[in-house]
């Protein structure tokens, strides 16, 4: 199938005023997509009969988003509003709550997961990494549901599934269930706070890596443990990765300890994470009780950072929008990025590192041959999109339009 986007704006460079970047230059192009790739990018392309045509009317083309940390298996989303109950025993409050809540939610878990994926697609995501509970009460039932739901969207998006031992890999003795989950289609082995939850730091990490090794899977572990404890866990995990000669991808989710550490300990840890090619996902928390990890510092020092929503509304948190433009807006406000350049470059935390202009301001996306996963937004630059929460009108994935919204176009005046 051929898809022709007429008159979309592409970012072509930065604009300078007294040596300071004050804007982004854009220019209109016709863009031909075929076999899921950008095939031709020209100022004008003739329409042919076998082409589906989208009139962009001067909207901006941006790379699509990747939702890199979400739990589609346990949500209140699309169900009735309910606020969380107070936390009295730390993370254990929620784990005990889940033992009763999740079996109760099981009859509508699939329906809610579908609604959530649809909502994420409408918000410009063409890739989803979902964590999925594996625990003594739920067993691998959530894995079955998540695999089924995401497979039903396989023509529209790409996805990954992390088997997540929420109640503790060791604490809740789910190693056999985790191994079942690997057989059932999980792509990643998950984990959670080997100290605070499992109270068996070394053994927990070692078991997690062993499972990933045995099934040739990747790793994505939730680490909320704070400051020196978290730092210790990071280092022990890297020691063990080395011992196991683990070569697949490793992600640390939340990585809260990185927000506590400073100076030499942060520097050393960051260097080591970069040398292991470990990446990090964050929700950009703004709560006073937890800081935000130093996202730009990490990125500049070789640790890839991605954002995720974690929850849209569930028994953990009433907040969450699924709107990654808003998530980036929070990120830029958190780090006080107010200028075109730094706002513009922040797009990379949502796109798997892709920005239309590279750090030097050269146009690097889209190029012929790139995967055609893109958005049309009513905006005149990536910075404008993020700062003013400009709307997405069209989501293109694998070379096809997978979502469209009717929006009154305002361009630069939005």
Partner 1 sequence: MSQWLLNVRLETGEQLHEDGSIQTTTNLFHIEINAGQIAQITVADTAFQPENAKDMQGQLALPAFKEMHNHLDKTYLSLPWKACRTVSGLEERLHYESLELSALADNCEQRASAMIEKILGFGSNHIRTHVNIDPYIGLKNLEGVLAALDKYKDYVTADIIAFPQHGLLRDDVPNLLREALRHGATMLGGLDPGGIDRNIEKSLQTTMDIAQEFSVGVDFHLHDNGHLGYYTIDKWLDMVEEKGFNGKTDFSHSFSLGDVTVPEQIAMAKRLKEHNVAIMSTVPFNLGRNIPPIDLLTEHGVNVHFGCDGFYDSWSPYGSGDILQKACTFADVTRKITERELRQSLGYITNGITPLDGEGQMQWPRAGDEASFVFVPSSCSAEAVARPPKKRTLMNKGKFFN
The two structure tokens encoding residue 328: 């980036």
405 belongs to the binding site for partner 1 (CB under 8 A): no
First to last CA, the chain: 34
Q: How far apart are CA 81 and CA 271, in angstroms?
A: 44
Provide, rounded to whole angstroms, the least separation between the CB of residue 342 and partner 1: 8
Cis, bond preceding 290 (omega within 30 deg of 0) = no
Work out the number of other CB atoms within 10 angstroms of the CB of residue 207: 21
CA distance 201 to 168: 11
Query: Which residues from 90-119 bind partner 1, rule CB under 8 A?
Result: 97, 100-101
Q: Which of 94, 348, 384, 403 binds partner 1 (CB under 8 A)?
A: 384
Question: Helix 91-122 vs helix 141-151: angle between axes, to the nearest 10 degrees?
Answer: 10
User: What is the nearest approach in angstroms of partner 1 to the Cβ of residue 285?
Assistant: 8
Nearer to partner 1, 183 or 339 (CB): 339
* Residue 317 Cβ vs partner 1, minimum distance, rounded to whole Å: 6
Q: Specify the stretch interacting with partner 1 by CB under 8 A; choose among 214-222, 327-335, 360-368, 394-402.
A: 327-335
| 75 forms part of the interface with partner 1 (CB under 8 A) | no
Q: How far is the CB of 248 from partner 1 (least distance, A)?
A: 33
Three-state SS for 145?
helix
* Residue 84 binds partner 1, judged by CB under 8 A: yes
Under rule CB under 8 A, residue 340 binds partner 1? yes
Measured from the CB atom, is 140 or 259 closer to partner 1?
259
- Rounded to whole angstroms, the Cα distance separating 53 from 97 reads 51
Among residues 16, 35, 48, 82, which is the contact residue for partner 1, using CB under 8 A?
82
Task: Pick one of 43, 46, 107, 413: the residue that binds partner 1 (CB under 8 A).
Answer: 413
Residue 319 interacting with partner 1 (CB under 8 A)? yes
Contact indicator for 314, 80 with CB cutoff of 8 Å? no
**Distance of CA 278 to CAs 205, 306, 307, 333, 412, Å?**
15, 12, 15, 26, 39
Query: Looking at 380, 392, 395, 396, which residue binds partner 1 (CB under 8 A)?
Result: 380
Q: Is the dihedral of CA 103, 105, 110, 116 positive or negative?
A: negative
Bridge-partner residues for 60, per DSSP? Answer: 9, 377
3-state DSSP call for residue 62?
strand
**Residue 22 found at the interface with partner 1 (CB under 8 A):** yes
CB of 154 to partner 1, least distance (A): 30
Q: Which stretch binds partner 1 (CB under 8 A): 110-118, 128-136, 199-207, 382-390?
A: 382-390
**Count of beta carbons in the 10 Å neighbourhood of residue 126:** 27
Binding residues vs partner 1 (CB under 8 A): 20, 22-23, 80-86, 97, 100-101, 286-289, 291-292, 313, 317-319, 321, 329-330, 332-336, 338-340, 343, 379-381, 383-384, 387-389, 412-414
């Amino acid at each position: 199938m051929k898809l022709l986007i007429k008159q979309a704006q592409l970012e072509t460079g930065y604009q300078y005023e007294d040596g300071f970047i004050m804007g982004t230059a854009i220019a209109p192009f016709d863009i031909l997509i075929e076999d899921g790739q950008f095939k031709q990018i020209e100022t004008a392309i003739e329409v042919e009969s076998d082409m589906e045509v989208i009139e962009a009317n001067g909207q901006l083309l941006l790379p699509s988003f990747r939702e890199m940390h979400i739990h589609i298996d346990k949500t209140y989303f699309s169900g009735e509003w309910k606020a969380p109950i107070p936390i009295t025993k730390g993370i254990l409050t929620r784990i005990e709550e889940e033992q009763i809540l999740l079996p109760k939610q099981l009859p509508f878990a699939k329906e809610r997961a579908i609604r959530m994926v649809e909502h994420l697609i409408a918000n410009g995501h063409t890739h989803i990494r979902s964590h999925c509970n594996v625990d003594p009460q739920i067993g691998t039932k959530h894995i079955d549901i998540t695999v089924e739901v995401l497979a039903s969207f396989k023509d529209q998006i790409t996805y990954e599934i992390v088997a997540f031992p929420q109640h503790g890999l060791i604490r809740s003795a789910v190693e056999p269930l985790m191994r079942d989950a690997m057989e059932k289609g999980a792509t990643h082995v998950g984990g959670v706070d080997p100290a605070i939850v499992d109270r068996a730091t070394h053994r927990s990490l070692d078991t997690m890596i062993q499972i990933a090794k045995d099934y040739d899977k990747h790793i994505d572990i939730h680490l909320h443990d704070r400051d020196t404890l978290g730092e210790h866990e990071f280092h022990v995990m890297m020691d063990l990765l080395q011992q196991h000669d683990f070569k697949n991808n490793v992600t640390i989710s939340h990585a809260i300890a990185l927000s506590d550490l400073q100076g030499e300990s942060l520097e050393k840890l960051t260097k080591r994470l970069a040398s292991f090619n470990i990446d990090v996902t964050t929700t950009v928390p703004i709560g006073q009780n937890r800081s935000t990890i130093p996202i730009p510092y990490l990125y500049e020092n070789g640790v890839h950072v991605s954002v995720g929503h974690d929850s849209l509304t569930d028994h953990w948190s009433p907040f969450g929008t699924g709107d990654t433009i808003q998530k980036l807006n929070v990120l830029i406000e958190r780090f006080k990025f107010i200028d075109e350049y730094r706002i513009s470059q922040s797009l990379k935390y949502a796109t798997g590192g892709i920005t239309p202009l590279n750090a030097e301001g050269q146009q690097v996306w889209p190029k012929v041959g790139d995967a055609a996963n893109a958005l049309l937004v009513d905006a005149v630059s990536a910075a404008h999109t993020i700062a003013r929460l400009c709307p997405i009108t069209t989501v293109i994935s694998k070379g096809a339009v997978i979502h469209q919204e009717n929006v009154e176009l305002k361009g630069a005046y939005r």
